[in-house]
Chain A
């Protein structure tokens, strides 16, 4: 037992003896998590705030009442930041990446759209210039644009001067439409009704007909009603887990360097069991990684208002399981590695892939469905999900049990592999 305690104490002494390393170990995950938290917090800087607006340039070469209504609708859209510009400027802005999308409404669009709407005329085109590297934003703009065009054209048909002219024109040309006579008469009746409706004054005000038939009431589901989502909670979970594994690598590197410096000859020549030698490293590694995680979350709580909305005991359980897993991962690194320098590169790459697939950088729900299924075998996934569950999701102890058990299972696997592959001979 004295040997075990001495080995643990030695690791702690070395860690805390290097103040610069201590500061870096604690500060780097905080800095990076703060950055990621800010990125995902939206424009409002946290909470359930609006996401950043998509910059869109509109080139209105039509200047009709319909195109003007489309532009006005887009400008009112909270998801868009709309500005007007000539075509050349818009193209240059998309090309140099300052805007994701430019919408080009060509001359004659309003008239053609009205005729296509009422009488099956040829549909006009709206040009969309887009940055191919920002496909997600383009898709969003396309959907919103459809809504605004439908609303603008529909309202014009029931209230605008241009719309009345379209109805009159459609009625005048209705006999030329190639449809069965029964349908033609039905259409004539419909258009005559619209004509009479417009002659009575049409629709006034903003609540016109032919609008998008619904509105969206958004309600973020967090730990409770009215409790804001704090993006820093996920960022600190993700980065915390990443740096736990990095600390695990450091532990493994420490063992390899001790071997290179001949220190393991001393350990092996002493009457100390293998369990003591590795168990002590697992203990010190667990303590140091747990400290790193707790300091990170402490900072997030103090500065960014992150809270453990779920079970505190569950959070402690998940954090402990994370730390044990990271420490045993470090032991495995030491067992599989040959030299410290070469092993660090491979281990770092392995950790980066693991945390990326585990949802530490971006939430795993944005992954393709098949990848979400595959990543259940990634240890970091359980760590991040467990910490998320106990912080911003506000789930109870029950939700911590499975992640903790899985992480402990990974720890056992790492430990068994370490015992199997560790090189005990010190020639």
Chain B
């Protein structure tokens, strides 16, 4: 469904993403891992249309994504790392705005809002201002905002940062439901256990390049041979990216 080919982005002399290619099928969750500055967020930003690549293509079912108003963008949903919500507005008012950005209106928008809020368990707080929400509730609403227009591909950039275990678990369940509905999910995280639990396939990036692209079992077998069958993802990650600190 989603195909990334030879994406490259440089900021002056700093190459953030260098020749990244991968694909993602329906009903699958791809974990995108990497240390700080590896190029994960820039890659996601290029797929979402936030950043114009210097080179390379993003296609969905063979249709190339190009331009601000490309209708193909409707097939992509973004859940940014930031809590991209208006605290001053109610949950419903937030979703009305974000739905309208995708051309939803009246009944379709209302149904979509109800479904999204129900999915993340916030139906009873629809009319409350977001500033009254807990961090976990905001994270769930952040997810709901990315789902309003029923995208085929959902880009999740560290969607569980700073939430308690209960909310995190609720988000995981939401993602598993979405996967079961046939959505393609691209998930960036620093939490290895999340990738272990959710990802069907894992890409490890560093210095703007893809270091590994495989299933968890595949990574284990490739990196550690027969003896590494039970190695943790974190040890495999550190083996691939090194132990030097990243700032």
**Which residues of the other chain, B, contact A266 by a CB distance below 8 angstroms?**
78, 80, 84, 98, 101, 145
Looking at the assembled complex, report how far the CB atom of A21 sits from the nearest CB atom of chain B, in whole angstroms: 10
Contact assessment for B83 and A261 in the assembled complex, using a CB-CB cutoff below 8 Å: yes
Contact assessment for A426 and B50 in the assembled complex, using a CB-CB cutoff below 8 Å: yes
Contact assessment for B105 and A2 in the assembled complex, using a CB-CB cutoff below 8 Å: yes
Contact assessment for A272 and B101 in the assembled complex, using a CB-CB cutoff below 8 Å: yes
- Does B45 have its Cβ within 8 Å of any Cβ on chain A? yes
Contact assessment for A262 and B81 in the assembled complex, using a CB-CB cutoff below 8 Å: yes
A9 to B105, CA, bound (A): 14
- Given A14-B89, A274-B68, A427-B50, also A3-B82 (CB < 8 A): no
Name, among B42, B76, B97, the residue most crowded by chain A CB atoms within 10 Å (CB to CB): B97
- Does B69 have its Cβ within 8 Å of any Cβ on chain A? yes
What residue of chain A has the Cβ atom nearest to residue B76's Cβ? A269
- Given A263-B86, A265-B82, also A273-B51 (CB < 8 A): no
Contact assessment for A3 and B101 in the assembled complex, using a CB-CB cutoff below 8 Å: yes
What residue of chain A has the Cβ atom nearest to residue B49's Cβ? A269
Count A interface residues, CB 8 Å: 27
Interface residues of A in 237-283 (CB under 8 A from B): 261-263, 265-274
Interface residues of B in 44-93 (CB under 8 A from A): 45, 48-52, 68-71, 73-74, 76, 78, 80-86, 88-89, 93
- Does B218 have its Cβ within 8 Å of any Cβ on chain A? no
Contact assessment for B83 and A268 in the assembled complex, using a CB-CB cutoff below 8 Å: no
- Does B41 have its Cβ within 8 Å of any Cβ on chain A? yes
A9 to B74, CA, bound (A): 22
Contact assessment for B73 and A270 in the assembled complex, using a CB-CB cutoff below 8 Å: yes
- Given A3-B101, A6-B101, A272-B69, also A18-B88 (CB < 8 A): yes
- Does B22 have its Cβ within 8 Å of any Cβ on chain A? no
Query: What is the 8 Å Cβ interface bit string for chain B, positions 197-216, against chain A (1 contact, 0 not)?
Result: 00000000000000000000
Q: Is the interface of A mostly helix, strand, loop or mixed?
A: helix
**Which residues of the other chain, B, contact A426 by a CB distance below 8 angstroms?**
45, 50-51
Contact assessment for B97 and A7 in the assembled complex, using a CB-CB cutoff below 8 Å: yes
What residue of chain B has the Cβ atom nearest to residue A9's Cβ? B97
- Given A10-B89, A273-B69, also A267-B101 (CB < 8 A): yes
- Given A5-B100, A265-B84, A425-B51, also A271-B68 (CB < 8 A): yes
Contact assessment for B70 and A425 in the assembled complex, using a CB-CB cutoff below 8 Å: no
Looking at the assembled complex, report how far the CB atom of B56 sits from the nearest CB atom of chain A, in whole angstroms: 16
Interface residues of B in 1-60 (CB under 8 A from A): 11, 16, 41-42, 45, 48-52
Name, among B11, B68, B88, B105, the residue most crowded by chain A CB atoms within 10 Å (CB to CB): B68
A268 to B101, CA, bound (A): 10
- Does B191 have its Cβ within 8 Å of any Cβ on chain A? no
**Which residues of the other chain, A, contact B96 by a CB distance below 8 angstroms?**
6
Contact assessment for B101 and A270 in the assembled complex, using a CB-CB cutoff below 8 Å: yes
A6 interface neighbour in B11, B49, B76, B100, Cβ under 8 Å? B100
A7 to B98, CA, bound (A): 9
A273 to B11, CA, bound (A): 24
Contact assessment for B52 and A425 in the assembled complex, using a CB-CB cutoff below 8 Å: yes
- Does A96 have its Cβ within 8 Å of any Cβ on chain B? no
Query: What is the 8 Å Cβ interface bit string for chain A, positions 1-43, against chain B (1 contact, 0 not)?
Result: 0110111011001100110000000000000000000000000
**Which residues of the other chain, A, contact B73 by a CB distance below 8 angstroms?**
269-271
A137 to B183, CA, bound (A): 80
Looking at the assembled complex, report how far the CB atom of A19 sits from the nearest CB atom of chain B, in whole angstroms: 12
**Which residues of the other chain, B, contact A18 by a CB distance below 8 angstroms?**
88
B93 interface neighbour in A13, A267, A270, Cβ under 8 Å? A13
What residue of chain A has the Cβ atom nearest to residue B50's Cβ? A426
A387 to B231, CA, bound (A): 76
Residue positions of A touching B, CB distance < 8 A: 2-3, 5-7, 9-10, 13-14, 17-18, 261-263, 265-274, 425-427
Residue pairs across A and B with Cβ atoms less than 8 A apart, 21 shown, are A2-B100, A6-B100, A7-B101, A13-B93, A14-B88, A261-B84, A262-B84, A263-B82, A263-B85, A265-B84, A267-B101, A268-B49, A269-B49, A269-B50, A269-B78, A270-B101, A271-B69, A271-B73, A271-B103, A272-B69, A274-B68
7 pairs of A and B residues whose beta carbons are closest in the complex: A262-B82, A6-B100, A270-B101, A262-B84, A426-B50, A271-B73, A269-B78
